[in-house]
Amino acid sequence: MRTKKVKPPPKKYEYRLNISKEYDEISKRDYISFRFQTTKVFLTFNYILKIESKVEDKNIVFNLLGFTAPIGELSNYGTAGFEYRFYDYRYMEYNVVIDKKDSDKSRFKLALQKLKSKPIKLSGIPRKSFIEIKTDNDT
C-alpha cells in the first residue's frame, strides 16, 4: 500500500527582499543593498536567483527570470539568493517594480534619506504580493 505524499502548507510569500544601506570597504562608498531570497529551501543545490536589474531616472526595475545552478560546487541545500548593489544613488524617492516572469508584479516607493536612524523609507507596499519587502529598520 502506497502512502500519500504530504505537501507542506503553502507559504505566504515566495520571495523575501531586504533593503539596507551598507558600506563597501574596498571602494570606500555607501550603497543600497537589495537582497533577494526564496522562502523555499532547495534540497539538491544552493541555487542562484537569476535577476535582471535596470535603473533609469527615478525607476528601479527587477525582472525575476528564474534560477541557475551553482558552477563547480558540490551539492548543498539552502535557499536561492541574489544581491544587487546600488552605488550611485541620490537622496530622493524611487519607484521600484519587481516583475516575476510575466505572471505577477509588485510596485512600491523607496525614499532614500540622509537620516542615520532611518535612511530607507518604504511606502505603497501591496498587501497581497508574492514578495515580502523589508528594511533593516523593520521588526
Per-residue pLDDT tens for 66-90? 888 777 656 678 888 999 999 999 9
Other C-beta atoms closer than 10 Å to the C-beta of 107 total 14
Other C-beta atoms closer than 10 Å to the C-beta of 136 total 13
Contacts of 95 (CB under 8 A, 6+ apart): 58, 59, 60, 107, 109, 110
Q: With 80 as the cut, is the pLDDT of residue 126 above it?
A: yes
Q: What is the pLDDT of residues 93-117, one digit of tens each?
A: 999 999 998 788 999 999 999 888 8
Grid cell, residue 95, equals 519607484
What is the amino acid identity at position 121? K
Strands 93-100 and 131-135: unpaired
Query: pLDDT at position 67, please?
Result: 87
**22 closest CA partner among 83, 80, 92:** 83
Task: Give the C-alpha separation, 14 to 10, whole Å.
Answer: 9
Query: pLDDT at position 134, please?
Result: 93
In the predicted model, what is the mean pLDDT of residues 49-74? 88
Query: pLDDT at position 15, please?
Result: 93
58 alpha carbon, distance to own chain's centre: 18
- Of residues 120 and 12, the one with the higher pLDDT is 120
Q: With 60 as the cut, is the pLDDT of residue 129 above it?
A: yes
For the chain, give every domain's residue range.
Answer: 15-134
